[in-house]
Structure 1
């Protein structure tokens, strides 16, 4: 009997040692674009090198953006947008999806504070023959949403929303049709390429374009908040999202411990690497920042932070999707010249009303 007991004990110890030797395999499901995974792996690299028994596989689960862990079944961790009320459940990581005014420093000494100032600078550069256009505006609507933030957030009475929308469409119409400063049918790929090739001094682009522009322009790239609609007017509100990492609640002991270690790293030491590895703005100060012990931030990080200093509209993801859906068909007709500012404003308000009624 004693021999059997000893054999069982030895077998148990061998199995436990085998488990330790195998380490822990975790899946981190990302809800951002599929080509983002390598950068997440780069962010985690120092932690994983210090924890050789922990391995993290990064996968792409688009449904996780809106459904969280339920949209990434089987994952131990999920990288997704989150709301302020969820801050206790999520390790805040970075800000994303906001629009910036990108400009060419070799042609622009100071970014314009207002769109009228931008028009003045762009017309002067175009008249000299330095550029083909003045401002590249993408056909995609998401980077344009801040221009319409007073229309969508907060919900205004219909007559006020229509007046605000008309002001924006009138400005965009002047840029494209009156002054010929904005190219027709230009996607965000086109807008980024025109700026990189020196064909425009300014471009309105989503922050996800910043890394490729840095590679193309180097120190010539300037970033600023979107200008106000009028001289002396209030700044446009940024429309972006914040991303963080959430741990699945029901994990086995060793998986839970390893996942908690990843989250702790991302909350602390990993914050130092967010900008360098991901090209994103970290949401939390790295360790030592409060007492001055942290390294001075890179100039590129400081400039990118300034570009996000506009007041945030902070809409929820469903509201942003609704705004995109309301604006997209109107923008297509307006950009083609089929409707003017008055008609576009009326159609946009009608779309907003219809969406609110359906919801």
Structure 2
């Protein structure tokens, strides 16, 4: 079936209208009209070829909220008219140890299939993402969205930013009363603060920007530390059970590792263009501290995250934009000029096509 979207045709040209084919729904497929799609920094990196390996034309978008328009004959989990979500992946091998454990994001049977720029096993070529009017996804990779209708645009970023921060907090068994640091207060960081606070943690935000203090406290943080202040950072030594580092720029990890208690862990979820300087080994071995990384979450955990956020009234802080403003949004993201996530209202695309 033919659908419309916006695509990057090269690394240095603006995204432009693009018409392409989606598959007809198979027995286990769910067809979805896209209502909203969040704009992730990964979209920008991929569309502009900054990570390498981009397959053009590239239709980004992996924070999708929409409405079911059709289901295959074997679909039992979803119904026409239901509100659903699609995140960063639309397939995996289904039989490797990670997939068997419900950790499809770590699939070792060829890797998970990305919602965009992945291998399209049905039509050939590569997958096209959520900057489009319509998508067809196997029911195993579709998520139930039970937030209020008025919140759907702000739910979209949960499909990436939400699960990227929720998953490590759950995996490392964050407990109420623990002291948690969140490094960075952007699209990922603001979700980390909200979710960790809702889990009962005492949250401190580490930021390079003193003017973000009030915003961090409003999101649920109890304290804010300016990470460029060496004296303030030194005062944090040995305080934290867990630190979630969301910064996607190369920086020294040592001041944050030193802020951990004995047996504390810092988890990296941001991917810098250049590697972080190697941390001091002494800071790790003399307090048995751990430095780890985390990707997104599996489908079951992502559903758990959506339900948790529904129950705690959590959504992303967003600015909605029309599809036609995507390149301006990318430019603003580069300047960190968004609080904290752009979300595309796909009605703007439908209006353009109808005009």
Which of the five TM-score ranges fits, normalised by the shorter chain? under 0.3
Comparing both structures, which one devotes a greater share of its residues to strand?
2
Q: TM-score, length-normalised on structure 2?
A: 0.25
Higher helix share: 1
Q: Which is higher, the Rg of structure 1 or of structure 2?
A: 1
Higher RCO, Cα 8 Å, sep 6+: 1
TM-score (norm 1): 0.25
